[in-house]
Chain A
Amino acid sequence: MRLITNIEDQKTMTGNAFVCPIPLEQYPNVLLAHGGGGKLTHQLIEKMFLPEFSNSMLGARHDGAVFDLPASKLAFTTDSYVVQPLFFPGGDIGTLAVNGTVNDLAMCGARALYLSAGFILEEGLAMDTLWRVIRSMALAAAEAGVQLVTGDTKVVDRGKGDGVFINTAGIGLIESKAAVSPSSVQPGDAILLSGDIGRHGIAIMAVRQGLEFESTIASDCAPLSGIVMSLLASGIAVHCLRDLTRGGLASALVEIAETARLHFEIEEAAIPVIEEVQGACEILGFDPLYVANEGRFVAFVAPREAERALEQLRAHPLGAQARIIGTVRDDNPGLVTMRSRIGATRIVDMISGEQLPRIC
C-alpha cells in the first residue's frame, strides 16, 4: 500500500473506492482478539493504523514516540469522544477526535504538533466502520497540520462499549508571549465570537432516531489552529480564548466568567444564528445558546483592539461571520447577562443536563 504523504493524495483517495485494508471477507467485524496484543492486533496496526497516519515516529513501532522540541512553552491536553451517532452530516467521531484536541491546544495559544490516540472498540463493530473513522482522522490530521505519533487499541465485550470510544491527547507549542487564560481577562475587554452557533448540535439532532428532519446543516467541526495562530501572530492583545463545545456559547461564557470573577454582558441581536439552525431550534424548543458547536470560539481582547481583531478573524474563512458580541464588566463577578432582542436583560446560566426536545 502506498504511503499517503500529502493532503491532495488523501483527498483524491477518498473520492475513489478506497478499500478497507483488512480483508473484510475474513474479518468483517472487530473481534476481542483484535485487542489482545497478538496477531490480529498486529494486523490492525500494520494494515490500518500505520499506513494512514504514516510518520517516522509511528513507523518506529516503539512503545512511545520520541522527539525533540524547541525550547518553548508547551501546552498539553486530552479529551475523549463518545458521540452517537458515529457519523453525522459534516463529520464523524474521528474528525471530532482530532479537531477537538487540536482546538483545545489552540485555545491555550498553542500550535498542535503531535497527537496520541487511544481506541476502545466494541466487539462486533463493523471493520468497515473503523476504517472510515481512521480515514477521517487521517484527513483531519493532515488538514490540521498535526501528526498522530502514538496510539493504543483495546477491544471490550459486546455490549460494554458504544461502537467506538476515542481518546486523543495533544502537545502543542505556544508561540506567542501573551498569557492566554481566563485570569487574563480584564474589565472593559471586548468579547468576540468567531461565527454562527448551533450547527453541530442540530446536525446531530437531524439524524437522531425519532427526531429526523431534512436539513442541509452540517456540523461546523473544523480545526481552529490556523485562525487562532493568525490572530495571535497579528500582535493583538488576546487575553482569553475558549472553543465552544457541548453546552454551547452559554456554558463557555459562564465557565470563564466564574473563573475570571467578572461580569459578561452580551447582546442577543449580535449573536449570529443561521436560519436553518433557528428553524430546528424553534421546532424542538431549543435555545441556540446551549446547542453544541465544534468549530467556533470566543476571544477576549483589549477594547482598543476589538475592531482590528474582528477584521483579523473575518479575513480567515472560518471567521467570516465573526462578531463582537459583548463586553466585560467588573460588577457582579461570575455573572453572564444578555440584552434580549427586545431590549430587556436576562441572566445566562448553565443548564443542568442536555436540552431535551419539548412540546410545551
Chain B
Amino acid sequence: MCLAVPGKIVSIEGTDPIFRCGKVNFGGIVKQINLAYVPEAKIGDYVLVHVGFAISTVDEAEAQQVFEYLRQMGELAELEEKQ
C-alpha cells in the first residue's frame, strides 16, 4: 500500500491514454511504468510510482515546503526568544 517511489520520466510511449507508458528513472534504475493516471505528466517530470503505476506527479515547488516550514519555525522561535 505504501511503497511508492519518486522517479523521473525519461521517455513516453503510446498515445492511447489507458495504455500510455514510459520509462522512469529511479536513481539510475530504469523501469517501464504505466502512466495512464498521470495524463498531464511529461518527460522530465517526477512521478510517484507504486507497483508499476505512476499515481501522482511530484510538485517540485511544494517539495520545498518541508524546509520552508522549518525555516519559518526557526524565525518564529528566534522571535519568541527575543520577546
A359 contacts B28, C-beta separation under 8 Å: no
B27 contacts A359, C-beta separation under 8 Å: no
Chain A residues with Cβ below 8 Å from B51 are 359
By beta carbon, the residue of chain B nearest A280 is: B29
Interface presence of A215 (CB below 8 A): yes
Interface presence of B76 (CB below 8 A): no
Residue count of chain A within 8 Å CB distance of chain B: 17
Contact mask A78-121 → B, CB, 8 Å, 1/0? 00000000000000000000000000000000000000000000
Interface presence of B50 (CB below 8 A): yes
Residue count of chain B within 8 Å CB distance of chain A: 16
In the complex, what distance in Å separates the CA atom of A275 from the CA atom of B28? 7
* Number of interchain pairs (Cβ within 8 Å): 48
Contact mask B10-41 → A, CB, 8 Å, 1/0? 00000000000001011111110000000000
A282 contacts B1, C-beta separation under 8 Å: no
Contact mask A218-262 → B, CB, 8 Å, 1/0? 000000000000000000000000000000000000000000000
Contacts A358-B3, A360-B2, A360-B3 given: A278-B27 contact, CB under 8 Å?
A: yes
B3 contacts A279, C-beta separation under 8 Å: no
Instruction: List 17 other contacts, CB 8 Å, given A279-B27, A283-B49.
Output: A213-B31, A214-B23, A214-B31, A215-B28, A215-B29, A215-B30, A216-B28, A276-B28, A279-B25, A279-B26, A279-B28, A280-B29, A283-B7, A283-B31, A285-B3, A360-B1, A360-B2
Which of A's residues lie within 8 Å of B, judged by CB?
213-217, 274-276, 278-280, 282-283, 285, 358-360
22 A–B contacts, CB within 8 A, in A order: A214-B31, A215-B28, A215-B29, A216-B28, A274-B28, A276-B27, A276-B28, A276-B29, A278-B27, A279-B27, A279-B29, A280-B29, A282-B26, A283-B3, A283-B7, A283-B26, A283-B29, A358-B3, A359-B1, A359-B2, A360-B1, A360-B2
